[in-house]
Amino acid sequence: METPLKENIRIFPDHEAASRSAASLFLKFAGESMGGRGTFSVALSGGATPIRMFNIIGSEYADAVQWDRVHVFWADERCVPADSGDSNFGIAYELFLSQVSIPDGNIHRIRGEGDPSKEAIRYEQEIRAAFPSGLPAFDLVILGMGMDGHTASLFPDTDAAGETERLVTSSYGGQHRGWRITLTLPVLNNAKNIFFLVTGSEKAGIVARVLGESEERESLPAGLVNPVKGKLIWFLDESSARKLTMRKG
């Protein structure tokens, strides 16, 4: 690992407290970004873990953010239609984006209904167009982690997880998960802030493998998320952190 690990690990009593803290830091970073460049770009993940956080943002922060200055992207998307129950866009839209006054043009959906490889190319173009120059730097990327150590749709031992040039690629998650479209590590690690929100006792093993003493971290996509210049914050609850022995030093 070239860059020294800089993560900040925060352990909360339960999923609710972790979700609430992540939501309030979302609000803080949104305010800071707008105070700086005037806009706030965030890339969301899917899965079950962020649902409560989306719910909190949509129900409690609707009036606390200048949503016309927020641009929402996705760290990954399942290759399903937007109205599918599996759509990461669909979940975020229902719980959060439909509850706030964000202009449609600020919602940069990955078109899961499209051809995966063509949509990966299109989405990369959309991201590049949204950032003035150089490697896009999201103000915030919100990630989860699967029990195999995947994050976004970067699954272990796949070309997508090893991609070093493209910003967006398609990724086959196996028969159960199917095709996905995902941001790659170069653009994830160029973010100014990255949150991992990982809760629940079923994640304790993988949390210990990624954040614990073992060198295994570098073989797991979530373990390769280490922002070059930005901040990395892990929001855990006591259940997901129960096997974690903090690294010394």
Return residues touching ligand 6PG (CB under 6 A): 45-49, 75-76, 78, 88, 144-146, 150-153
Q: Looking at beta carbons only, is 68 or 202 nearer to ligand 6PG?
A: 202
Distance of closest approach, residue 56 Cβ to ligand 6PG, in angstroms: 16
CA–CA separation, 159 vs 180, rounded Å? 13
Least distance to ligand 6PG, CB of residue 77, Å = 7
Residue nearest to ligand 6PG (CB): 144
> To 5 degrees, how large is the angle CA 135–CA 220–CA 14?
95
Cβ of residue 134: shortest distance to ligand 6PG, in angstroms? 25
| Minimum separation from the CB atom of position 145 to ligand 6PG (A) | 6
The least CB distance from residue 109 to ligand 6PG, in Å, is 14
If one counts every other C-beta atom within 10 angstroms of the C-beta of residue 240, the result is: 28
Nearer to ligand 6PG, 66 or 84 (CB): 84
Nearest to ligand 6PG of 32, 113 (CB atom):
113
Both tokens assigned to 204: 């304790």
Which residue lies nearer to ligand 6PG by CB, 65 or 75? Answer: 75
Three-state SS at 204? helix
Which is closer to ligand 6PG, CB of 31 or CB of 81? 81
The phi and psi torsions of 184 (rounded to 5 degrees) equal: -105, 170
Q: ∠ CA 23-30-52 to the nearest 5 degrees? A: 20
Residues β-bridged to residue 234: 9, 196
- CA proximity to 71, closest of 143, 151, 142, 139: 139
CA pair distance 204, 238, nearest whole angstrom: 9
- 51's tokens: 């649902």
- Closest CB to ligand 6PG among 134 and 185? 185
DSSP characters over 32-61 = HHHHHTS-EEEEE--SSTTHHHHHHHHHHS
Q: How far is the CB of 14 from ligand 6PG (least distance, A)?
A: 15
